[in-house]
Structure 1
Amino acid sequence: MFSNITDKIRLLFRKDKEPYLCFYKMLGFYPRNIEIYQQALLHKSSSIKAGKGRLLNNERLEFLGDAILDAIVADIVYKKFEGKREGFLTNTRSKIVQRETLNRVAVEIGLDKLIKYTTRQSSHNSYMCGNAFEALIGAIYLDRGYRACKKFMEERIINQYLNLEKISRKEVNFKSKLIEWSQKNKFCVEFNLIEQSLDSDQNPIFETQITVENIPAGTGKGYSKKESQQEAAHATLTKIKGDPQFIDAIFAAKAEREKAAETAESENTTAIHEEAIAVEESISVREEEIPKEHFVDTERIIAEAEEVAFRESK
């Protein structure tokens, strides 16, 4: 409180009050080093040259903010969900710090209106706002420290925009969920990249189609393969839950595949058995081909050796 009053008094003597007031509305405190906050909003597409020809943008702050945000959210989740196991805590933290959540939060607090970028980049960089949010956390950390970051996340973000109980129960990784379902029910699922094209700004677009037992399921598009796979997996799970004809088709296909596999295994077992019999017969034939005189000679040699040994012992 006292720190904010001091910063507000200092602000009275500044000519450029507007940027400070803008960040105050968003953060709940006045920046001390406003340049670092402005850097957090500078996308790499609008990089500026700093000393010694170095490009200045928000990528380094994003890296720092990512690590700090992980620690803060882990701290909050650990204290919020007492008694929960590591897996639950890890999944909940991941859902909070994932790009989709951070993108939404960035828009909610108005961060998207302050980011500096080129028009071309805005058309396809779906994670730009989330990245800028992480960079903002990095700026807060450098300017005010860990406590200020945690207070900002708790009071300005989580309490106002995020329901931790709801997030902890939310299914977000559709691809992982689909793979888990397929393994549990022994279905064959494949992710196929069916098309790669360019949008009007020459940005790559990927289209993925998922097949279940070689039957077309969901499709999805995105500006990355991962994004298109998530969309396709989401569509597939929706189809599994709400399309009875699709369910009947994949079960029938699965039954045919398993029947074919059983037949192939049975034929393979028969072939192995027949081969074993052939080998045994071959060995038997070879044994019969050995001359009987060989055994007679062997017995005679042994008998003579025993007789010589008996004489010498006397």
Structure 2
Amino acid sequence: MNLLYWLDPWEPSPTVVICVLTAAILYARGVRHARVSLPRQIAFWFGLVALYIALHTRLDYYFEHEFFMHRLQHLVLHHLGPFFIAWSYPGAALRAGIPFSWRQRFIGPAVKTKPMQAVFNIVFQPIVAVVLFVGLIYFWLLSPIHFKAMLDWRLYRIMNWSMVVDGLLFWWLVLDPRPAPPARLAAGRRLMIVIAAIPPQIALGALIFFTPRELYPIYSICGRAFTWISPIRDQQIGGLLIWIPGSMMSVVGALIALRHWMRLSARERLIEERREMPARGQASAPTPAQAH
């Protein structure tokens, strides 16, 4: 089996191809006009390729037939891929990749409509962002919901896309390097929401790991990809993937948010000091009468 075999999708999806190709073309066009450093470009392409591999390759067969592989897939879709894309801060490059006339006539007016602004205000609200980020993991791992999602291809794709979209929204909010405004949240609040997402992930991973009975029999019913791994062992590995790598990604996000907070705080202090210096100079300068 060569590389082309693994790149051949298990279940072809035009939606995945169109979305990934569109993002790639816009970004490639945009970096020619926007100033984007090489590390940021590498981070974007790494994240985009990771999403494509997790959604549209032969690996999807293993994601559908082994619980720990499924958790590995969602780790990429919800954490790793969106994290690197948001970390690259590709907004300027993607905007530059869209023809100016399209931005002026279609994109700009669409984004500024009241319904779109209402959606953004809801999903970027701190409590809602944390609840969605953690809640989607819990929701799709409820045993009855998970059973149906793994049997119905339409629900399966909704599940995967919901993880991608939510991951992009959450990490975009957390890793925004700008001050507020124009960023949605102040740097300190970004740090707090990513920290708040850590304990629920640890609790869920530990619960799955320590449960002595099979929680997801759908993999035994449909046939496991790795018959030499017992159902309980498979479940334990999946729990560990939620518990440790998933939580560690949030810890890394918290460290980056903390770094942005310290940088922005130092910048604000510097600006304040520059504003105070002329005032101090004027206060200490002698008047003409005092000079004589």
How high is the TM-score relative to the length of structure 2? Answer: 0.22
How high is the TM-score relative to the length of structure 1?
Answer: 0.21
**Which of 1 and 2 has higher RCO (CA within 8 Å, sep 6+)?**
2
> Which protein has the larger Cα radius of gyration, Structure 1 or Structure 2?
1
Q: Whose strand fraction is larger, Structure 1's or Structure 2's?
A: 1
